Homo-oligomer: A and B are copies of this chain.
Amino acid sequence: MAAQWVYGFGAGKTEGNAKMKQLLGGKGANLAEMAALGLPVPPGFTITTEVCTWYYANGRTYPAELTKQVEQALSALERHMGLMFGDPENPLLLSVRSGARVSMPGMMDTVLNLGLNDETVAGLAKKSGNERFAYDSYRRFIQMYGDVVLEVPHHDFEDILERHKRDQGVTLDTDLSAETLKAVVADYKALVLKQRGQPFPMNVQDQLWGAMGAVFASWLTPRAVTYRAIHNIPEDWGTAVNVQTMVFGNMGDDCATGVAFTRDPSTGENYFYGEYLVNAQGEDVVAGIRTPQSLTLKGKEKEKSALPAMEEVMPGVFKQLDDIRATLERHYREMQDIEFTVQGGKLFMLQTRTGKRTTAAAMKIAVDMVNEKLISREEALLRIEPQAIDQLLHPTLDPMAHKRVLAKGLPASPGAASGEVVFSADEAEAKAKDGKAVILCRRETSPEDIHGMHAAKGILTARGGMTSHAAVVARGMGRACVAGAGMIAMDYERAAMMIGDITIKAGEMITIDGGTGEVMLGVVPTIQPGLSGDFAAVMEWADETRSMGVRANAETPLDARTAHGFGAEGIGLCRTEHMFFDPARIQHVREMIFASDEGSRRKALAYLLPEQRKDFIELFRIMEGLPVTIRLLDPPLHEFLPQTEQDIALFAQSAGVSPERVRRRLAELHEANPMLGHRGCRLGVTYPEIYEMQTRAIIEAAIEVAATPEIMIPLVATQIEFKLMKDLVDRTAAKVFVEKKKQVSYLVGTMIELPRAALIADKIAEEAAFFSFGTNDLTQTTLGLSRDDAAQFLPEYIRQGIFARDPFATIDVDGVGQLIEIGVERGRKTGKTLKVGICGEHGGDPASIAFCQGAGLDYVSCSPYRVPVARLAAAQAAIRAEQSKPSASKKEAA
């Protein structure tokens, strides 16, 4: 039996539904679903994603049965509509749109008005009674098809149009007459012939197959590849093609087109949020060329717009749309992003999909929908992207700060950001790589700018609305964005922007506030936002739901306080060496390293003891009895040594030795591969007095504050190594207990950060009270990959698909993950009460947290700002683990 490559909808039989996203793409599946719900969807058919896969697997050709199946689907459409594709009298016109499994806004190309040619355009003019409309549609079709399918540059068409507008003395497209549009069409066709060496295709079948091919081809354009790389969308998913009967929002003033969200995607507020344009086609709204109008009076009011709302202009249609809004939300139990067109006063739904939203909005919508009993708490938790919580935690402008507002645009994506002005995506990326904060300033953005938007702290555009490319993408990425600040003139040539008589050049600092739309000169101080009640509710639900603990990696009082404020349940990694870099201490640390014998080393350590003790006392106090895991000295000693000639001279002088001697010691301590060198517990083994001092400081502090410290031995590779270090800690603690006549409990555990440690975890667990997977170093050793050096080739590796993701950001499940699972399993075999956590960067990465849940970890530890992210991610992981249980037990039974 031949495979079914084509699925129809709306024309009598609807063969798909919303669950078939994998096959039909998101748009196709939802069109079928809406059709089945009885909503007014222009009928059409979807060519499946399997065709795309087949197309690439077979040298960009189609399966044999496709032609026939498309013919059949087209015939069904013709019958349903009573129109004929390519018929000069009653022409059926089509839209051809891409539709991947997940929405990829602006990434895929669309062709509207397909089926028009020199003959059918006349039929359309006659039927619509609107020649101007017909030729406008024809010229749009040639322009779009020329650009997308024939690769004639968009701006060449625009130039022709501009010329005619200039000649006619008009500024709006809508002011062009049918006659002029005919001339435009002629010029367009001439342009195509000149550039492509072939005339624009008049055969409608050629048009259709050309457009379909362009959709499939666009799957592999660099910008699509980049978008998928950023959003971790697999290359092999492919896209579907949706072919749909055209409806026209540009047939006159009883026509309109619009996009809307069933709730406010910025704040989450439960009101109908959207924009429309009268007498326009969809691209006019999204492209931000005309300034769109609000759907509702409330929206109009909120945006202080002077333009009439749809609620006023087309109350009947608006009512119908508002009902559909309710239907869709009830049906999908999720906030929807919809597109619609009104043709001759009749409403058509062109798309519905889950709406993108800011994190604050996601919080509010989730909490509201739980309260509205639309969804469960678990569903609510699963709907919030943990990564995005980050953006809630980023600073907003200090309301007390002085600010010089230069301009105002739309508050397109919340958050405040300061940075150097840059005018191109490439520049943004380059400067960001150098560690600079940049604000990407563009007239408007396009998919080509995505890498620059990703690299920037914020985005500022002079044109476009709340649903413009810049706004949608920035919200998705969690970047601050001010859009459509029309008073700003961007001059890319001069690398400057002008606001009235003020000129801001590339490299100058500005601040934007995506919550208010303000653009300010210089760096404006920011503050931590007070987190909303929704945030608190979500976090509370998350805490009730998750099974893993969440700790923070922190050593400074500031970090510890931040972590505690964000709900960390302890410190999972306190890197004691960070405490050594204090300018008042580094001298003594250096003296310790320069000591030629144990005695002098002890002398230098004696100075550091009270300092370390003070650190720990403060840390224990801040954490109020929560567990604090302290890692003993880890990095190679030379990290503490003076590096520059000036530093060397200074240190030599104060230490009373010759600079030559300092240099000699530096050379002695030099290592070919410090990552694999004399560090971690190797220092403890060779210079036990260092760990002895640190243990003493920890235990003395714990006695003073009555804390229960967890002492962690780093870089353990063998059982004996750990045992030696544990004995040292125990001996030292026992001594302190006797001296202070007081005892505290403490645990001694280890980092598992070497493959060997994971492999012999059963032996180490005989002695260790806890494990903490140090996945940074475990990734470096398992993959033989230096984090400091990988930049030379890692991007290329990700580009070529060798790594699906940066293994330092998300746990490499196949390699490092296996070792973690081995480590946990073997460790628990001998360590019945073993506590197991993770303290690498991965501890704050949602995908990695999900892995940790599966591996059975007790807690994750991450940087303070990631704590809320981790709390939510851990809750999601617990829910998903619970959800997958029945099928897991089924598997076992099988």
Q: Who on chain B is nearest to A791 by CB?
A: B678
* Known contacts A796-B685, A802-B721; A676 and B786 CB within 8 A of each other: yes
A671 in complex: contacting residue of B717, B755, B786, B800, CB < 8 Å: B786
Docked pose: A529 CA to B531 CA in angstroms: 84
Question: Is A510 an interface position by the 8 A CB rule?
Answer: no
- B815 lies within 8 A of A756 (CB): yes
Which of A676, A677, A678, A783 has the most chain B CB atoms inside 10 A of its CB? A676
Supposing A685-B793, A724-B800, A756-B812 touch, asked if A788 and B673 sit within 8 A by C-beta, the answer is yes
Which of A724, A754, A801, A816 has most chain B Cβ within 10 Å? Answer: A754
**Interface segment, A177-185, A542-550, A774-782?**
A774-782
Give Cα A797–Cα B683 distance, bound, in whole angstroms.
Answer: 11
Shortest distance in angstroms between A722's beta carbon and chain B's nearest beta carbon?
A: 10
Closest to A681 in B: B802
Chain B's nearest CB lies how many Å from the CB of A143?
38
A533 contacts partner chain B, Cβ-Cβ < 8 Å: no
Known: A675-B676, A786-B677. A793 touches B754 (CB 8 A): no
- A675 in complex: contacting residue of B672, B790, B796, B814, CB < 8 Å: B672
Nearest CB to that of A721 among chain B residues?
B802
Is A760 touching B815 in the complex (CB atoms < 8 A)? yes
Question: Which residues in chain A, 759-804, are within 8 Å of chain B measured between CB atoms?
Answer: 759-760, 763, 777, 780-786, 788-790, 792-793, 796-797, 800-803
Pick from B678, B786, B788: contact of A792, CB under 8 Å: B678
Q: Is the interface of A mostly helix, strand, loop or mixed?
A: helix
- In the complex formed, the residue of B with least CB distance to A816 is B756
A674 at the interface (CB under 8 A from B): yes
Q: A758 — nearest CB in chain B belongs to which residue?
A: B755
Interface status of A569 (Cβ within 8 A of chain B): no
Distance between Cα atoms of A763 and B780 in the complex (Å)? 21
**Which range contains the number of A residues in contact with the other chain?**
35 or more
Chain B residues contacting A777 (CB-CB under 8 Å) are 784
CB pair B754–A782 under 8 Å, yes or no, is yes
Partner of A802, one of B671, B685, B760, B803: B685
Given known contacts A755-B819, A819-B759, A793 and B720 CB-to-CB distance under 8 angstroms: no
Shortest beta-carbon distance from A716 to chain B in Å: 10
Give residues 803-850 of A contacting B (CB, 8 Å): 803, 812, 814-816, 818-819
Chain B positions within 8 Å of A781 at CB level: 676, 755, 781-782, 784
Q: Contact at A801–B673, with CB atoms within 8 Å? A: no
Residues in B neighbouring A802, C-beta threshold 8 A: 685, 718, 720-721, 724
Residue A52, interface by CB 8 Å: no
Q: How far is the CA of A777 from the CA of B682 in the complex (A)?
A: 20
Give the chain B neighbours of A814 by CB distance below 8 A.
756, 759-760, 763
Cβ–Cβ < 8 Å partners of A677 in chain B: 786, 789-790, 792
Decide if A784 touches B753 in the complex (CB within 8 Å): yes
Given A673-B673, A678-B793, A796-B685, A717 contacting B784 (CB threshold 8 A): yes
Selected from B674, B676, B785, B801, the residue in CB contact (under 8 A) with A785 is B676
Minimum Cβ distance to chain B for residue A740 (Å) = 29
A715 within 8 A of B: yes
Among B718, B755, B760, B783, point to the contact of A717 (Cβ < 8 A): B783
* A786 and B673 contact, CB distance less than 8 A: yes
> Is A672 within 8 A of B784, CB to CB?
no
Nearest chain B CB to A754's CB is how many angstroms away? 4
- Cross-chain pairs A/B with CB under 8 angstroms, 22 sampled: A671-B792, A672-B789, A673-B673, A673-B676, A673-B788, A674-B786, A674-B789, A675-B676, A675-B784, A676-B789, A682-B793, A682-B797, A686-B796, A720-B802, A721-B802, A755-B782, A755-B819, A756-B783, A756-B812, A756-B815, A759-B814, A759-B818
Which 10 interchain pairs have the tightest Cβ spacing?
Answer: A756-B815, A676-B786, A673-B786, A672-B788, A755-B755, A677-B789, A754-B784, A671-B789, A673-B675, A678-B792
11 more A-B contacts (CB under 8 A) besides A673-B780, A759-B815? A673-B788, A675-B784, A678-B789, A682-B797, A720-B800, A720-B802, A721-B797, A724-B802, A755-B782, A755-B784, A755-B819
